[in-house]
Amino acid sequence: MSVEKNWEPKIIAFTCNWCTYTGADLAGLNRMKYPENVHLVRVPCSSRVNPQFILRAFQKGCDGVMVCGCHPGDCHYATGNYFTRRRFMLMKRLLEYNGIDPQRFQARWISGSEAAKFRDTMTQVTAQIRELGPNSKFQEKWYQEGGPENE
Amino acid sequence: MSRTGVIICHCGTNIASMVDVEKVAEEIGKIPGVVYSVTNKYTCSEPGQQMIKDAIEEHSLDRIVIGACTPRMHETTFRKMLKGTKINPYMLEIANLREQCAWVHTDKEKATEKAISLVRMSVAKVGSNKPLFTSFIPIHKKALVIGGGIAGIQAALDIADAGHEVTLVEREPSIGGKMVMLDKTFPTLDCSACISTPKMVDVSAHPNITLKTSCEVEAVTGYVGNFEVTIRQKARYVNHDICTGCGLCETKCPSKISDEFNQGIGERKAIYKLFPQAVPAKPVIDAQNCRKLNGSAKCGVCQIVCPLQCIDFEDKDQLITETYGAIVVATGYELIDWTKLYGEYGSGRYADVISGLQFERLVNASGPTEGHILRPSDQKEPKDVVIVKCVGSRDEKKGKSYCSRACCMYGAKHAHQILEKIPGSNVYIFYMDVRTPGKGYEEFYNRTREDGATYIRGRVAKIYKEGDKLICTGEDTLIGKPVTVKADMVILETAMVPARGVEEIVSKLGISMDGDHWVQEAHPKLRPVETQTAGIFLAGTCQGPKDIPDTVAQASAAAVKVCGVFSKEQMETSPMISRVNEEKCCGCEFCVKCCPYSAIAMKEIDGREGNRKIKRMVATVNSGLCQGCGACTAACRTGAIDLLGYTNDQILKEVDALCL
Amino acid sequence: MLRYAYYPGCSMDSTGATYKKSIEFVAEKIGLDLREIKDWNCCGATAAHTKDEMMALALPARNLALAESEDLGLDIAIPCAACYSRMKYSLHAVRTDEEKKEQIQEIIEMPYEGKNDVLSFLDIFSTEEAMEACRSKMVRTLSGLKVACYYGCLLSRPHEVTGGEDTENPMDMDRIVALTGAEPVDWSFKTECCGASHQVDVPKEARPLLDRILRNAQANGAQAIVTACPLCNMNLDMRQAEINEKMEKKYNLPVYQFTELLAVAMGAGAKEIGLHKHFFPAFELMKKYAKRAGENG
Amino acid sequence: MNDTLEIKREAQLRETARRLLEDGTVGYIIGWGTTRFEDKTAPLFAAKPEEADRLVWNEYCINSLAKYSLDDKYPEKKIGICVRGCDSRAVNRLVNDKQIERENLFLIGMPCSGKENSVCEGCSHKNPVVYDILIGEPVEENTEEKASAERFREIEEFEKMSPDERYEFWAKQYDKCIRCYACRNICPACSCKECYADQYMVGWQGKQNNRAESQVYGLTRAYHVGDRCIECGECERVCPMGLPIMRQTKKMLKDINDLFGNYECGVESERAPVLGEYDLTDRDEFM
Amino acid sequence: MDDCLNEKSGKNLIKQITRETGVVLHDCYQCGKCSAGCPMAHAMDLMPREVVHYMQLGMMDEVLKSKTIWLCATCHTCVDRCPNDIDIPSLMEKSRQEAKRRGLVAVKEVDRFNDIFMENVKLFGKSQEVILEGLYNVSTGHFIQDMENVPHMLSHKLIGIKPVMIRDRGAVQKIIRKTMKDKKKK
């Protein structure tokens, strides 16, 4: 697949309302700058994120996917992110096993006060994915644009 | 087809300076189903809100998307606004164009592109929104306090003073707990009984407080506002309705038993009051040790001497069930049983090696020695006393890994009391660290050293007897040499551990404990008196070791929390909670395992299999308990359990919309 | 059935000779069947583990493997605390550490699975069966004789290895000795170290260890000390006179093995079990207290 | 296979089955029966005592039988099921997932020294882990070394490839997939009333038959059963297109073992799947 | 600036020792219960607690030079009572072996005794008390030590002059050779 001109990575981040989403708001309040490529989906808790959402995001054309929540021990719902941790440690490995580059799916703990960490993480992840180029793996667009004939 | 209205807010220039809001409105207006797409200078202002209300009427909108500041700022504002319209308040989504777009980006073109994406995601999501309705739970304005120590007493009094009914349950025959056993309290050295017994009397006299001693919680069901609690009133064998507490029975009773209130120093009778100032000031019979009740003799002397015929040997346990709106757990602590753990300190073989609580009784004017410090073995006044701190605390191998927090201070207090009461005495305190974080605490520690206490930094390795002396060996780690003290008496300042039976209470209440069995608070910093279960609060040492000031403070805090619950007639529950699709649910119970609030239970429903009617199990969510985290939804492989407001469908739509 | 594989240990042939005699006497009386392991070797005692951990595990393991190869399914009885401790270490390693097990097997060039237990003589005598057998064979009583039962460090520590009872105040020997009518005193140095080989290599520094033990025993009213190990016994017995002389003390505490007390109570003659062979005179005290059972005074 | 021993076992099985049917202990028995091919057997439902003799026991008894019990969750009488090691773990799996009640089943334990099936090579439980009656003597288990060496050998080798090579491999595989869902239907860890893939209200899974949709299905299936897989290999055996499906689930299992300690599903009936629990000390790599 | 704590050279050795013994040094909070209960503490130049502290700080030279590591009687009283389960005897053991390798034997007598003991075992398969004592006295120059007890022993046949040996001395020698060879390789 040829790289489109003016291609910009599309990154989706599932963020918990109490920590990372708040941290992102704080980054805004402090006028911190990070790339426009990151789009947040607000969920109550990182444990709300069904690993199937990740597959869907890749399928529909995201170049990078993130799941962010409170640090373990700080979950607003006490134990949610312990489940998150288990689920995505496994999912991440399964994705990599199926050929997804490790950088394309990442999970991070970012608290409500870690605006700088939020900015740095998003900047860094965007750069990594820009480096990797557009993702075609798992993407249905690949089919719509001709499928196997592309190869 | 849905009719979505979209309002893109300028937020003054906050958004408009970095995002081409007009372009956003224009682009969004092209999405099928969006019938109204405009911009507004200040959407959250009164005119802004009015504009939305008007648009709803004018364009027959059935859902709204607002591109503005973070939803954490004005989501509630706009939901309130929608309450006055024909649209359900939950038919609203907010795209975060300020904090997560305009403020953090520098390229206007790209920021505008991103803003379009964000609003498109919200438009996609709102398309799947469903009207949600808050439900109301009636609040039963009566509180249950479990445990009648100083924490329970304080909490009960505070709640009662606020005008609510309280039931205080205590398993012992009297309230008072550990505090009433103490002689003096640090650092002010006021008499413990003098400050705690008036509170006990207040409890018994308070019109809003029902005191239930010799009672235990048997079962708890329900949820905040509506806990059904069954309480077991243990047989007392004395009719407290008639008894005047004259005490005649007690003097005549022939059975003598080791006195637990005095920590085994001294004896009590089988019919007894826990201590002289007990509340209620009426005796009970200890069935295990009563000659008549345990069948070892005919006896019945108490029955014969009682002038009012209060003794009832036929008395039975009774179960009482009542409804409470909130529960305060104040089950307290006890001291670790060092005799089972520390062979090097003699495993309890030496009578003069005693615990701190035993010393409190020895030095207490109402104790077995009437306040004279006499060593238990021969009733002689000790001249050289060794105090050993951290026995069972900070000892991962034999005891507990944590610091018990109060021992440094009461160790200093014991030293002070000995030096004051026994002229010419010497006190040696073996310590590892002296921890005095509290008002006036460091000063008190200094004073104890001025009094003449010798502090030796090191743990005692062994205590043994030679003649009538107890030889204590330790290392003074500051000089790096082993030291030996010949003592007449040794006081071990032992670790606090949760009161016996806390495990049962915790499981009955459906709350959790930490690894050391202290009751788990909802959040260590921000919700220290709450539990994971709404309506159940914590007071005092059941949550972790603490001293009296902290205990009382936490008890009052718990009382305020209870009053908070009681401040409304009904409680509104968030409608954004999990819901089970019973048709799809296969009953695997996987969601139950993931729920931090025990909000999911299994229930039996009618079903069909082929042409047979059968009963099958499905999950069901308790709306009083569910807090809407959604952990269950990601655990459900079928997708039978879903989180209202953040449904699988809604989130997938958002994902899809981003990728258009 | 009181049948065990038997590892006597090197001391049994020399300084432990009196211990050996009393064991033989008591074993005969109560039908204790001890089958000596063929061609056993030194366990390495306190020296091997200062050289190398694997050596200290392999030396005892050879004996245990020999016992296992005879395939009698018998637990191994050990009269010496030091040997017992070393054997327990080997057994513990083989049972809990697969890697070490393989290494040990490779070094001793024998299979060894750690099937059988390693037991001290206190373990053996404190079983219900042995206690009952002893009780039925008592013909004398040592009533009135106050003794301090000294266990030493190696029988009880470290707890994970020995799995023994209380490491500070064990009671097995006290219970066994009480069978003879003698009265074990409550004292506090039951498991304190006697210095072991340090009594040979750094005697001046090690003497206070013996002094403390003797002192506490005497202070708590003991007239004699009872041990369950040839090494502890030798240290307390052979060096008591030396302590009295060099540290200016006046200890008068004959030192017996617990099996000697049992033997006397079962009717053994003093010569028969070698009571006169003790360094510190032990015969007179025993003579004073040993009475025919049922005899008054 | 030791023929005489297994022939004897077959006779014992028939005898036991007849007795169980005669005395009414069970309503019917699910076992294996002959087909018109000599080297194939098919599941057999024997409801009458005289049908007991149609049960066979040989190296072609490959089909997993446990899941048939789901078709009759509320039986009037107990269902007799022949269980090998893997089948017994399947039963535990279904019981743990509350899909069947153990009391409704009568398990006829069949010690199994391996079938004409490659998955049997590194089998760690040849003897049933749970049963009501055991037919004949237990067989010797594989050594732990052998079982564990075999278990993830393929996965480890596969992991050595580059991401692109791995993607290429799987993409080719999923191009073959016809989404017949046979792998799901046979799997004892798949027990939903309505599989996510069959739902149309929430668009979890597109219905088109193309690479991307098949990949989503493949990974979702692996994730769904990963912490419940009993390693029977039925998914792979029934796949008409020959996809190496076990390699996905085994990858999940391997990671679970690496991350959360030794884990074998269905061996203990009480143990919850690892994703239904957590440990405060779990590794944290999302810092 | 040799005294800088952060430049102490013992860190690698300490890492190796803690790995081999499984001791978690930072668990120790220096309460001194070990030293207080140690029967040999009175003769030690470093308290057992101090040995742990030196190791926490990376100051291994001080430990290796100390008498303490040689005086430890391995009675395990310290670890039995330790609130943090620090296996001090094992630390002493490993330090002793390392000290010997570096020729830093602070208490020669202890080392001599152990050497002679093992020589003895190597030779006969069993230990021979009289030979052991004799050789030890000769090698250390303490000729008369314990000699007052010898006549008693001889007269009561508590000791014999003829050594008692095991048959398969080769087996024992092999064990010692194999394990010591291992030692040198490291």
Cα distance between residue B302 and residue B250, in whole Å: 7
DSSP output for D121-187: TT-S--S-SS-SEE-SPPPPPPPHHHHHHHHTHHHHHHHTS-HHHHHHHHHHHHHH-----HHHHH-
Tokens linked to B444: 């008190």
pLDDT number for residue B231: 97
Residues D167, B613 contacting (CB under 8 angstroms): no
pLDDT number for residue B249: 94
Cα distance between residue B406 and residue B545, in whole Å: 7
The A residues from 80 to 119 touching D (CB cutoff 8 Å) are: 82-83, 85-91, 93-101, 106-109
Cα distance between residue B145 and residue B326, in whole Å: 9
pLDDT number for residue A76: 84
Cβ within 8 Å, pair A36-B99: no
The answer on pLDDT for C175 being more than 80 is yes
pLDDT in tens, D72-105: 888 889 999 999 999 999 999 999 999 999 999 9
Beta strands in B445-509 (DSSP E): 454-457, 460-466, 469-476, 481-487, 489-494, 496-498
Name the DSSP letter for residue E183: H
In a domain, A74, yes or no: yes
Angle of the A51-60 helix axis to the B648-658 helix axis, nearest 10: 30
pLDDT in tens, E121-161: 888 888 777 677 777 777 776 666 776 777 777 777 666 66
- pLDDT band at residue D146 using 50, 70 and 90 as cut-offs: confident
The answer on pLDDT for A149 being more than 70 is no
Average pLDDT over residues E54-66: 93
Helix then strand then coil, % of chain A, to nearest 5: 45, 15, 40
Helix then strand then coil, % of chain E, to nearest 5: 65, 0, 35
List the single residue in C with minimal CA-CA distance to B347.
C169
pLDDT in tens, C219-230: 999 999 999 999
List the single residue in B with minimal CA-CA distance to A24.
B100
| Neighbour tally for A61: CB within 10 Å | 21
Least confident of A37-46, B485-494, E104-113: E104-113
**Which of C94, C122, C150 is the C-terminal boundary of a domain?**
C122
Q: Is D31 helix (H, G, I), strand (E, B) or coil?
A: strand
Which has the higher per-residue pLDDT, D245 or D117?
D245
Tokens linked to D43: 């599941």
- pLDDT band at residue E11 using 50, 70 and 90 as cut-offs: confident
Residues C279, C251 contacting (CB under 8 angstroms): no
Mutation target among C14, C20, C85, C192 for the E interface, most CBs of E within 10 A? C14
pLDDT number for residue B512: 82
Same domain, C23 and C144: no
The answer on pLDDT for E15 being more than 70 is yes
pLDDT number for residue C71: 72
Q: Which amino acid is at E112?
A: R
Tell me the Ramachandran region of residue E36: left when phi exceeds 0, alpha when psi lies from -120 to 50, beta otherwise. alpha
- pLDDT band at residue D272 using 50, 70 and 90 as cut-offs: confident
Residues spanned by the domain of C241: 134-293
Helix H or strand E encompassing B353: strand B353-355
Q: Is C254 helix (H, G, I), strand (E, B) or coil?
A: coil
| CA distance readout (Å), B360 to A34, B180, B378, B418, C247 | 63, 10, 18, 11, 44
pLDDT number for residue B54: 95
Domain holding C143: CATH number?
A: 3.40.50.11810
Cβ within 8 Å, pair D255-A87: no
Mutation target among D73, D202, D219 for the B interface, most CBs of B within 10 A? D202
In a domain, A103, yes or no: yes
pLDDT number for residue B237: 96
pLDDT in tens, C23-66: 999 999 999 999 999 889 998 887 888 888 888 999 999 999 99
- pLDDT band at residue C297 using 50, 70 and 90 as cut-offs: very low
Residues B534, B625 contacting (CB under 8 angstroms): yes
* Side-chain-facing half-sphere of B311: CA atoms under 13 Å: 25
Least confident of B169-173, C213-217, C282-286, E176-180: E176-180
Cα distance between residue D161 and residue D170, in whole Å: 12
Average pLDDT over residues C263-287: 90
pLDDT number for residue E163: 66
- Among the residues of B92-191, which ranges form H helices? 108-127, 150-161
Chain centroid to Cα E171, Å, comes to 25
Strand order in the sheet with B326-329: B209-212, B165-169, B142-146, B326-329, B536-538
Cβ within 8 Å, pair C188-B343: no
Beta strands in C162-266 (DSSP E): 183-184, 224-227, 255-257
pLDDT number for residue D4: 83
Spell out the domain ranges in chain D.
Answer: 3-145, 152-276
The answer on pLDDT for D247 being more than 50 is yes
Mutation target among A36, A38, A123 for the B interface, most CBs of B within 10 A? A36
Average pLDDT of the residues of chain B: 94
pLDDT in tens, B363-420: 999 899 999 999 999 999 999 999 999 999 999 999 999 999 999 999 999 999 999 9
Cα distance between residue E135 and residue E113, in whole Å: 9
Instruction: Indicate the pTM of the whole model.
Output: 0.74
- pLDDT band at residue E186 using 50, 70 and 90 as cut-offs: very low
Same domain, C109 and C186: no
pLDDT in tens, C178-201: 999 999 999 999 999 998 889 888
Number of domains within chain A: 1
Which residues of D fall within a CB distance of 8 Å from B652? 202-204
- pLDDT band at residue C159 using 50, 70 and 90 as cut-offs: confident
Domain holding A105: CATH number?
A: 3.40.50
pLDDT in tens, B80-100: 999 989 999 999 999 999 999
The answer on pLDDT for D246 being more than 80 is yes
pLDDT in tens, B532-591: 888 999 999 999 999 999 999 999 999 999 999 999 998 888 899 999 999 999 999 999
| CA distance readout (Å), B357 to B176, B188, B620, C219, E115 | 15, 19, 49, 31, 54
- pLDDT band at residue B491 using 50, 70 and 90 as cut-offs: very high
Cβ within 8 Å, pair C15-E40: no
In a domain, C127, yes or no: no
Which residues of B fall within a CB distance of 8 Å from D273? 590
- Among the residues of B429-496, which ranges form H helices? 441-451
Pick E175's closest partner by Cβ from C40, C62, C153: C62
pLDDT number for residue C196: 80
Residues spanned by the domain of A31: 11-136
Phi, psi torsion values for E16, nearest 5 degrees: -65, -45
Tokens linked to C62: 């050879």
Least confident of B13-22, B271-280, C1-10, D232-241: C1-10
Cα distance between residue B509 and residue B166, in whole Å: 18
pLDDT number for residue A148: 58
Q: Is E175 helix (H, G, I), strand (E, B) or coil?
A: helix
Q: Is E127 helix (H, G, I), strand (E, B) or coil?
A: coil
Beta strands in D65-131 (DSSP E): 78-83, 105-109
Q: Looking at the domain B4-126, which fold is it?
A: Rossmann fold (3.40.50)
Decide whether B4-126 matches B142-234+317-332+499-566 in CATH topology: no
Which has the higher per-residue pLDDT, C56 or E3?
C56
Question: Sign of the CA dihedral D113, D118, D121, D125?
Answer: negative
| CA distance readout (Å), D40 to D36, D62, D116 | 8, 8, 10
Same domain, C89 and C181: no
- pLDDT band at residue A147 using 50, 70 and 90 as cut-offs: low
- pLDDT band at residue A150 using 50, 70 and 90 as cut-offs: low
List the single residue in B with minimal CA-CA distance to E35.
B475
Instruction: Give, rounded to a whole angstrom, the gap between the first and last alpha carbons of chain A.
Output: 8
The three state secondary structure string of B552-615 is HHHHHHHHHHHHHHHCCCEEEECCCCEEECCCCCCCCCHHHHHCCCCCEEEEEEEEEECCEEEE
Least confident of A29-38, B172-181, D136-145, D162-171: D136-145
Cβ within 8 Å, pair C189-B464: yes
Enter the ipTM: 0.66
Spell out the domain ranges in chain B.
Answer: 4-126, 142-234+317-332+499-566, 235-314, 336-497, 578-644
Percent of chain D with pLDDT over 70: 99
B9-36: b (≥16 Cβ within 10 Å) or e: bbbeebbbebbbbebbbebbeebeebbb
Least confident of C202-206, C227-231, D205-209, D212-216: D205-209
Number of domains within chain C: 2
In a domain, A70, yes or no: yes
The answer on pLDDT for A5 being more than 90 is no
pLDDT number for residue B394: 95
The answer on pLDDT for E185 being more than 90 is no
pLDDT in tens, C100-149: 999 999 999 989 998 899 999 999 999 999 999 999 999 999 999 999 99
Q: Decide if domain B336-497 falls under CATH 3.50.50.60.
A: yes
The CATH architecture assigned to B578-644 reads: 2-Layer Sandwich (3.30)
Pick A94's closest partner by Cβ from D219, D274, D280: D219
Given this structure, which CATH class describes domain B142-234+317-332+499-566? alpha beta
In a domain, A88, yes or no: yes
Cβ within 8 Å, pair A99-D260: no
- pLDDT band at residue A1 using 50, 70 and 90 as cut-offs: very low
List the single residue in B with minimal CA-CA distance to E77.
B461
Average pLDDT over residues A128-138: 92
Q: Is E129 helix (H, G, I), strand (E, B) or coil?
A: helix
Could you tell me which of B196, B289, B201 has the C-alpha nearest to residue B237? Answer: B289
Average pLDDT over residues B213-218: 96
In a domain, A4, yes or no: no
Chain centroid to Cα B567, Å, comes to 20
Cα distance between residue C72 and residue C120, in whole Å: 19
Question: Sign of the CA dihedral B161, B163, B167, B173?
Answer: positive
Cβ within 8 Å, pair B639-D202: yes
The answer on pLDDT for D2 being more than 90 is no
Helix H or strand E encompassing B76: helix B71-83
The C residues from 183 to 212 touching B (CB cutoff 8 Å) are: 186-189
Tokens linked to D22: 């005669």
Residues B280, B190 contacting (CB under 8 angstroms): no
In a domain, C128, yes or no: no
